[in-house]
Structure 1
């Protein structure tokens, strides 16, 4: 079993329209010259140019839109044994890199997920207090900046983010869940480590439970899992909206169910419905 060091970890960041590294200094809470971590940035932009003169910070320009496309490009160009997926609006906790590396030295799992805290210091979710191995249910709430992995297994099995999912894609959510489902589908283990590594705002783009964007993606996810049962899950999701009090209008709930079923149908049929590239910072 290899022994990893901090120099064996590469942080993969997808961002947009960046022309300087001020966002990186905010993430690390350090000046650019003080950042010792290995960082690979994919900068999606049609006109902004980001150039690094630092050996430990690499930048790949990208003209196409899509969060999953950026992450896949980063994985394909990563060079270190360990990788950590990060969003450009996260704050990295002190000693987070050491915690990630130590965990990968302790556990053989291909993927290890960690904890996120909000700016108030509270856990983003009600995380368990001890290590456990994920199953198809426990991976559902995992956030992208909580995902770290051993690169060799991921690359050898050609595991990538499904580019139909994620911001900027046709189905603008659920890309992390689809990726982790693929990992489990290859009989690889995903472990949870009760260590905090990143800070993120309490609200994410996946919290818009009533948005057609999210519901359409959830429908696609249901269609991906099982086209036959997708209709059942459309009823289940609408009942969830009603039960939780998010929406009580029957006409609105009917519309949401149709959006869900359309997402499932479009995924199964491969139909590419026109949409706006809503890639958010």
Structure 2
């Protein structure tokens, strides 16, 4: 099987991309392509890519936001398997070999693996210890973009797209991967399997997605994921469950933030 590594980048992490490209060059499995969509510093990205022998294509991704750059790379994807590679992650030497073997054995719509920070010895996610041959609809909300590897025959990269209203660099700064995988799940692509195997490394980052700006974005996100009625109910339940956390991360503010998020949810068009 051919594997496509789709890398959307703003173009500023040149040193990090060098580490990534070095790891790609070392792969024991060689049937792959790399497609990079850069939004700035195109010449620097091209100069870096020219150092490597692996099959690659570099395109200019118009606009800003990770969803736009990922969508741009999807147009050129020719692999049987594809993934969205972060520009600051890197791979184990046998990563692609591991991924390919699991696709050959299980033929999933989506295969989900682990990432790990070898410096801090931490992972951003709390991964289950055992494999899951069929994650639930709600479990799709816990997945990290570059942990997921997609079967192009069932989730076609030329017809499936990220919702460009969500993700880093947009008004609603998270949730793009949740929308993408939820759309696939809702379209009947339910063979989503998790394997407790580290195939990627990534710097550990303590993320805060309940600051005021992120919380306001969650109103529209819940609507996009679950529709108007259930999106509203589930968002209110989320706010109640996370009440103390929201307050502690926003200098004690809670009610005003929830109200702003609800208003934004009502304004958001599906």
TM-score by length of structure 1 reads: 0.81
- Runs of 5+ consecutive residues of structure 1 not aligned to the other structure: 271-281
Give the equivalent residue in structure 2 for 1:202. Answer: 204
Give the equivalent residue in structure 2 for 1:238. Answer: 239
Partner of 1:138, secondary structure, is helix
Give the equivalent residue in structure 2 for 1:279. Answer: none
Give the equivalent residue in structure 2 for 1:261. Answer: 262
Give the equivalent residue in structure 1 for 2:214. Answer: 214
Q: Deviations over 1:146-203 (max 9, x none)?
A: 0111223222882211111111223211011100111111111211122111122332
RMSD of the alignment, in Å?
2.8
Partner of 2:138, secondary structure, is coil
Partner of 1:247, secondary structure, is helix
Contact 2:7 2:70 in 1 (8 A): yes
Aligned mates of 2:250, 2:174 — CA distance in 1: 25
Contact 2:26 2:93 in 1 (8 A): no
Q: Cα distance, 1:242 vs. partner?
A: 2.6
Give the equivalent residue in structure 2 for 1:104. Answer: 103
Contact 1:143 1:176 in 2 (8 A): yes
Partner of 2:121, secondary structure, is coil
Matched, 1:23 2:16: yes
Number of residue-to-residue matches in the alignment: 259
Equivalences for residues 152-191 of structure 1 within 5 A: 152-155=153-156, 158-188=159-189, 189-191=191-193
Partner of 1:154, secondary structure, is coil
Closer/same/farther in 2, CA of residues 234 and 155 from structure 1, 3 Å limit: closer
Closer/same/farther in 2, CA of residues 250 and 69 from structure 1, 3 Å limit: closer
Give the equivalent residue in structure 1 for 2:253. Answer: 252
Contact 2:74 2:158 in 1 (8 A): no
Closer/same/farther in 2, CA of residues 38 and 21 from structure 1, 3 Å limit: farther
- Runs of 5+ consecutive residues of structure 2 not aligned to the other structure: none
Aligned mates of 1:26, 1:156 — CA distance in 2: 26
Aligned mates of 1:182, 1:240 — CA distance in 2: 25
Give the equivalent residue in structure 1 for 2:64. Answer: 65
Aligned mates of 2:215, 2:248 — CA distance in 1: 13
TM-score by length of structure 2 reads: 0.84
Aligned mates of 1:232, 1:192 — CA distance in 2: 29
Give the equivalent residue in structure 1 for 2:90. Answer: 91
